């Protein structure tokens, strides 16, 4: 039987990693948040503090919850911090080779009975697990962005994932206030298998001149009652992440319907990655986002 989870490690202090650290600490777990960038760790702690303040304002949590939550989070820049962790959640950039390198380096530093989860949004859990010394204790745990407010977690078994491990991670997801949904280990799982081709099609619609950025987003918000238009959503997710998922779908399923739009490729090549670079399908440098096309 796998161990009780008391200390959770999180690799990567970006949008997803900081959100996972936030909800884990709020749920009463000791958290170690690791990133190679000290600036990114400082930024993540500010994001978590601001997020907790918003939850207090919306009366989701009590003011008295904030200080203990922040106190439970320790930060650092080395994988050796995870030697006492019961679960480590990998939330690095959506790059398969990078994730594999991290996992190979991580395993010898962990307790033998500790579990590893990956927050990958598209990459094969079986392939990632094969790089570890514990494929039976490896599972996909795909959180949605923004993590503190989105209820869903996709749970994905690799071919070797043990039933005990899967049940323990399912129970953890519930304790973190999430609703777990089981997805099979196919490229991009459920949400991104459906969502990213829609976003890619919106980029094709722009590329082919069917509509402007504003027209496409307005049409989808008003015509399908989506809270954000697909191009606005792409900027929120990060255009590099959108492209990475489309490449996984295209390569993994070998179907031309998943071919990334050349315009999406061009934006990523230009370094226009969306909100995080202040420029994507919209320019975010002013007070109001302005379409770039």
**Residues carrying an active site annotation:** 121, 142, 154, 192
- Report the chain's terminal Cα–Cα distance, integer Å: 55
Pairing assessment for the beta strands 179-183 and 30-34 based on DSSP bridges:
unpaired
**For residues 279 and 113, what is the distance between their CA atoms, to the nearest angstrom?**
44
Q: Can you count the helices (H) and strands (E) in the chain? A: 11, 10
**For residues 287 and 172, what is the distance between their CA atoms, to the nearest angstrom?**
40
**For residues 293 and 281, what is the distance between their CA atoms, to the nearest angstrom?**
7
Distances (CA, A) of 265 to 4, 204, 213, 236, 254: 44, 11, 17, 17, 18
């Amino acid at each position: 039987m796998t161990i009780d989870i008391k200390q959770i490690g999180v690799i990567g202090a970006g949008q997803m990693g900081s959100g996972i650290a936030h909800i884990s600490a709020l749920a009463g777990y000791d958290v170690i948040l690791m990133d190679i960038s000290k600036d990114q760790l400082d930024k993540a702690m500010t994001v978590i503090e601001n997020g907790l303040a918003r939850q207090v304002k919306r009366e989701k949590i009590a003011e008295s919850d904030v200080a203990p939550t922040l106190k439970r989070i320790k930060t650092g820049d080395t994988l050796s911090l995870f030697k006492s962790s019961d679960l480590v959640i990998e939330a690095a950039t959506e790059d398969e080779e990078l994730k594999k390198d991290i996992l190979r380096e991580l395993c010898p530093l962990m307790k033998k009975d500790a579990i590893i989860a990956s927050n990958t949004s598209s990459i094969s859990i079986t392939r990632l697990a094969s790089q570890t010394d514990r494929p039976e204790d490896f599972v996909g745990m795909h959180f949605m962005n923004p993590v503190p407010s989105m209820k869903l977690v996709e749970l994905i078994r690799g071919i070797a994932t043990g039933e005990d491990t899967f049940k323990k991670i399912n129970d953890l997801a519930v304790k973190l206030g999430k609703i777990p949904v089981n997805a099979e280990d196919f490229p991009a799982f459920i949400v991104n298998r459906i969502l990213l081709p829609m976003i890619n099609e919106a980029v094709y619609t722009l590329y082919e001149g069917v509509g402007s950025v504003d027209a496409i987003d307005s049409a989808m918000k008003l015509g399908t009652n989506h809270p954000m238009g697909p191009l606005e959503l792409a900027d929120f997710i990060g255009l590099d992440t959108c492209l990475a998922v489309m490449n996984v779908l295209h390569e993994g399923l070998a179907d031309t319907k998943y071919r990334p739009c050349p315009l999406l490729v061009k934006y990523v090549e230009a370094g226009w990655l969306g909100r995080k670079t202040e420029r994507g399908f919209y320019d975010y440098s002013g007070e109001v986002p302005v379409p770039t096309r």
